[in-house]
Amino acid sequence: MSPSNENVISFLPLGAIIREFCVAGYNIVQGFSTQDQYIKYNTPYFGATIGRTANRIKDATVKDLNGRTYTFAKNNGPNLLHGGYQGWDKKIFEGPTPVNRNGREGLLFKYVSKDGEEGYPGTVEVRVWYTTSKEQVETAIEKIVLGIEYEVEFIGNECEETVVNVTNHSYFNLSGGPTIEGTEAQLCTDKYLPVDSNGIPEDKVQQFKRTDVTKPFVLHPTEPDIDDCFVMDEDPSQVPLDTRSRPLRLLAQFKHPSSGLHLEVHSTEPAFQFYTGKGIDVPAVEGLPARGPGSGFCVEPSRFINAPNQPEWKHMTLLKKGQIYGSKIEYRAWKEPWNE
């Protein structure tokens, strides 16, 4: 990343992707230059809207939905991952349409997901609002705030219910270099969902013990190797289908001592997947360098893994006729002025 004096945020209709998030001229998200490059090379899901269901669904199957069992693509071992082979990350959204959302200038992207797409029942419309603003922290420090609001409405008459779990899959890099080496991370919870060898929760919420994540710890390209779902709400019964009425909560914060870049991730969601990027493998692409292990990290606010198949979690992903699913994410980033 080469710095300039600009704060630029840009998007693409493909997957309503966040293509650039520039802070003091540093683009802190991984991505590509053109939409065609995303279509050809975006196996890590750089910047994309993930749906109809984010994360993994056990055995690519959802039971007891509309009184039957639905089977989906097994695109991650025995499981369904991130909505299937042609999830929302690969769909062309309508937009961007300029809007004023909650008093902020923004852009709206929309997509209609038809009944039967990737095996999901019911026709739904997903709406994604991006808003940008600035927040003064200190006299010489200004945070760039990128807000995301998701809304999914059941608009079809084909059945009575479907399942939804939406997130953004941006990979962040605050180092100014090819990897996240030296980034200081701190999560706001050490509660997580232990998973089996296929990435499916095998037990109740436990304490994460491999690293003390609630105190500052340093990221390296391959260590610590974290790809886990951390839990903000230990009582799933209190999680509504539309979380937007809840206050935004800080999930995680990051900074890099050399670049002076900071990032906070806030959301209304009950959980988030934290991934340190060990599996990234993108070849050099038309003037862009190769991206390998640790070239970025993800914080993916969402519902619990495999929630549609867990009776005590199912309600947070079960969208019925006349209902609306909703959530909010907010990224706040800034650069220390003495690091110019």
| CA separation for the pair 77, 84 (Å, rounded) | 12
In DSSP notation, 187-222 reads: ES--EE--B-TTS-B-SS-EE--SS-TTS-EEE-SS
Digitized pLDDT (tens) for each residue of the chain, 340 residues in all: 334 447 789 999 999 999 999 999 999 999 999 999 999 999 999 999 999 999 999 999 999 999 999 999 999 999 999 999 999 999 999 999 999 998 899 999 999 999 999 999 999 999 999 999 998 766 668 899 999 999 999 999 999 999 999 999 999 999 999 999 999 999 999 999 999 999 999 878 999 999 999 999 999 999 999 999 999 999 999 999 999 999 999 999 999 999 999 999 999 999 999 999 999 999 999 889 999 999 999 999 999 999 999 999 999 999 999 899 999 999 999 998 865 5
| CA separation for the pair 187, 274 (Å, rounded) | 9
| CA separation for the pair 89, 116 (Å, rounded) | 17
Contacts of 306 (CB under 8 A, 6+ apart): 55, 56, 57, 58, 200, 201, 313
Per the residue annotation, which of 169, 256, 262, 266 is the catalytic one? 169
And the tokens for 332?
A: 């706040």
| CA separation for the pair 47, 41 (Å, rounded) | 13
pTM of the entire predicted model: 0.96
Q: Sketch out the chain's domains with CATH numbers.
A: 9-339 (2.70.98.10)
Write down the residue that tokens 């006729």 correspond to. Answer: 321
And the tokens for 233?
A: 């709400």
Active site residue 315: no
| CA separation for the pair 205, 300 (Å, rounded) | 18
Which residue from 303, 273, 312 is spatially nearest to 165, judged by alpha carbons? 303
